[in-house]
Copies of this chain bind each other. A is one copy, B any other.
């Protein structure tokens, strides 16, 4: 099943729609739940009804369907109760820490890194990224993520996997110029992590098929900058799987339905896979050539993030954002 959110001028959470498997048709699902966040609160009731509507939409038996225009869609949840972003690709951690001359955590391979992100004002999939100042070092971070139902405190990693309801892909916008001072002060990210954007379709496990196994999505994340290839790193190479990330988040408190858990920047050691953020590419340039050459994003640059299944089907729709002057 594929779900999405129609933008609405007055409803901050938008309107819930079901999207056809081929991403071309949509139908309002507001009679089941007004928005995705409300559906998450009542998922046991809502899920079978949404699945029935999805089935009807796919076989053409829905009357009031409409053509999908991704520009009219917001992120699946324009805002939610919690956005907790892991950093489960060790290769990314190594390169980023090298880039800012920071030591690796002692627990690199045993305890997931995770930060609490702002979840109150997500950008739409095609909404521009506002840049205040080029010196802030605007960067993308291509990620995969999961939306969970209610998760009890102290859940095990294996049990945690059962609480995953939906999958998403993410651009976790990062301001590299602000992060070092922020982290040095000791309280973690804040200004360095402005609003993230999500691809428009949140999908259930069956849409991933064989690619979803061992708590990981074994598919490449396609990243383009200014229309050129930038990365196709496989998201299956997570060191910690999503069950471990959820269990980490829920160690000392329960999580509310609608919580989004991110993988951190998808990153592979194989150089041919490219990167999902600029800071990695810059660090590799420094290692190889002694200097960082690729600049961070500047006004007018565009970022595109998508994920295709092994048959070439677009699973989540497109994140396509232009950097604009704030």
Contact = CB atoms under 8 A, between A and B. Distances in A.
A136 B153 CA distance: 15
Query: Contact residue range for chain A?
Result: 35 or more
A12 B256 contact: yes
Nearest to A185: B105
Contacts of A107: 181, 185
B186 A183 contact: yes
A105 B190 CA distance: 15
Given A189-B187, A252-B191, A253-B194, A116 B113 contact: no
A35 to B, nearest CB: 13
Contacts of A192: 252
15 contacts: A80-B81, A81-B119, A102-B186, A106-B184, A114-B187, A115-B187, A115-B188, A116-B190, A121-B256, A132-B252, A154-B326, A187-B188, A187-B189, A192-B252, A195-B254
A268 to B, nearest CB: 22
A102 B119 CA distance: 30
A282 interface: no
A84 B190 contact: yes
A256 B191 contact: no
Interface string A85-114: 001000000000000001001110001011
A254 B111 contact: no
A79 interface: yes
A231 interface: no
A117 B120 contact: no
A251 interface: yes
Contacts of A120: 81-82, 255-256, 258-259
A248 B255 CA distance: 27
Nearest to A79: B81
B251 A111 contact: no
A136 B7 CA distance: 44
A258 B120 CA distance: 9
Contacts of A190: 84, 114-116, 248-249
A185 B113 contact: yes
A175 interface: yes
A207 interface: no
